[in-house]
Structure 1
Amino acid sequence: MIPIADSLLAWYADNGRHELPWRQTQDSYALWLAEIMLQQTQVESVKPYYTRFLQALPSWEALARAPQDQVLALWSGLGYYARARNAQRAAQKVCADFAGQFPDTREAAETLPGVGRSTAAAVLASAYDQQEAILDANARRVLIRSQAIRSDPKSTRTLQQLWELAEALTPTAAHTYNQAIQDLGAMICTPRHPRCDACPLQRSCMAYAEGLSEQLPLSLRKRDTRERCVFFLQIEDGDGRVFLEKRPDSGIWGGLWCLPQFHPQGLSGQPVPCTAQQNTLADGVVLREQVRHFCAMQYGLVVEVQGLMAMQKHVFTHFQLHFRCIHIGLQEDLQAIKVADRVLSGRWFGPEAALAKGLPTPIRKILSRSS
């Protein structure tokens, strides 16, 4: 085991990102919120969301009591929306079970929805000065390279080894050390093309000594490159209002408002597989008739297809979404609106009201272009 704390702390004192907003406080709520937002998201993307969220919902109590629509609207565009739903449930549990304070033990903290071992440790170290080790993606990468760990970084055995290392290497001043190892991973020991010449651990780094800095961590699992295809239906009434559906709480866009989705059917009556995007998302007489039939059967709406946007792509962690938006107008406004208003999952919104809702990024882009 190669000790790294002293070199890391000396480097961090002069080079760390001390100005980050969540590093200006020891408030457990603000620290926890930052940790949740930073899960799988870059710092620069998080900054504006973090500031707006804290301004709107500045405490455990405020988040616990907020309407879910407000929480998701504040999170809209940040992605991984299960984090937002879990964040509100965690706030409710903190208020109900822990007297409005973040739990002061890791075991208790890990009972909160969305809080794992590393997140709990980070908050406990920063808010309560506890000697708790973290193992986020940045810290994991620094440990793997500095100790030249050649095994699968996602295997149970390797993760256990990394936790043992993290605990052994973390000094009493865990708060500062945790920030230092995160910053080194983000700024120097990057996933690709690490800046070894600027690294304070270069002299002791085993991966550097063995010429393995570019090869570690090992990547033994192929990235899932599944593709999905879908049409979004932008149905507008005579007043320019758009019809949105609130999605179920589960799923990748759980709880968000979304344009209705339509999957074209082949001759067999089954959805067309997303194997050739241009053909799957192509316009045509058959498609338009299927859309009219879908709107009539699903919503009781008599509609006219007015046009299609160009095909677009949105990349998720585990798949790529290819989509086109179909612009649709109502032919029988009054009857249609009465029917649609009875659809429990959907409502009509004016352009500004729609954009104020919690929307998936592709839907926000579609509606922004139309407003």
Structure 2
Amino acid sequence: MTGQALLVTRDSSLREELTRLAAAAGAPVVSAPDSGAALRAWGAAGLVLVGGDLASEVAAAAPPRRSRVGLVTWGAQPDGLFRAAVDLGAESVIELPEGAGWLTELMGDLGEDRPARGLVLGVVGGSGGVGATTVACALGQMAGRPSAVVDLDPLGPGLDRVLGMEELGGIRWADLGTSSGRLNARALREAMPHRDGLAVLTFRGTEGGVDRVAVRECLAAVRRGHDTVVIDLPRTGGEMWDEVVPRCGVVLVVVEPTVTGVASASRVVAALPDRGRARLVVRSGGISPDAVARALDVSCVAVLPTYKRVGESIDLGFGPVRSRSERIARAMRGILSEVAA
């Protein structure tokens, strides 16, 4: 489907209002003044809005069933219109002017439904100092575009600093405050600091935590607006852990292959709501990756040697991956291939 909204109405005032709302949302529109024109454009539109004046006529034409159909009226719904809404397969009946804000948000997300892999990755350190944040940023750099990395560790260095984006303008968690309601995916993507198709949502300075509801709505919008989302998870557990971890398709636990590192990682794995989504990324040296995987009863998807140039690359503002031919780049591609399979 295209990113156009199909407006089906002969009511000039309703058409003008819907066109105005679409313009505010940045959504292109095409109009149909009768059922014939509506049927010709029905399947190709990203969203169909049928005016109450033509609802019965269009329903009588028996258009094919599809998602994202709404019936729009001025004021209260007239008697008998509910039957037409059912026949149209409308998902909602929107009454103007009360529903104008919700309708604008709905149109604003046209074109954001991507044929993505649906990959939402959480990354967490099995113990402190294992480089989980570096892994999260490197995965974001190597993921398909558009992608995003989301910082949920307020005690971390800040993902914008690791990626060399701290000087870029754009919103941080503090700017979103206690946001509630459905956020516009495209507007959020454009507002986040971004470079070369990679966006970042992080904390500003010594900013503290963030509201749980705001995180829920922001993550939903980020997911709608990006093909791949990598989340740098906190190790502290608590309500933010409970809110975010279940939304991750895969959780990568970065493990130091020592007795204490594996013991600490076992606590992290035990705190996961679904152990089956966990995968290990084991640092090189020490206990063998196979032994670590057996001890934690979680499969290992990658072994990471020490990359001597990563610190220099971050200090120079390139992020962990400076060149796609580097060993760390190849390792991240391998991880992404494994978890997306």
Band of TM-score, shorter chain: under 0.3
Which structure: greater helix fraction? 1
TM-score, normalised to structure 2, is: 0.22
TM-score, normalised to structure 1, is: 0.21
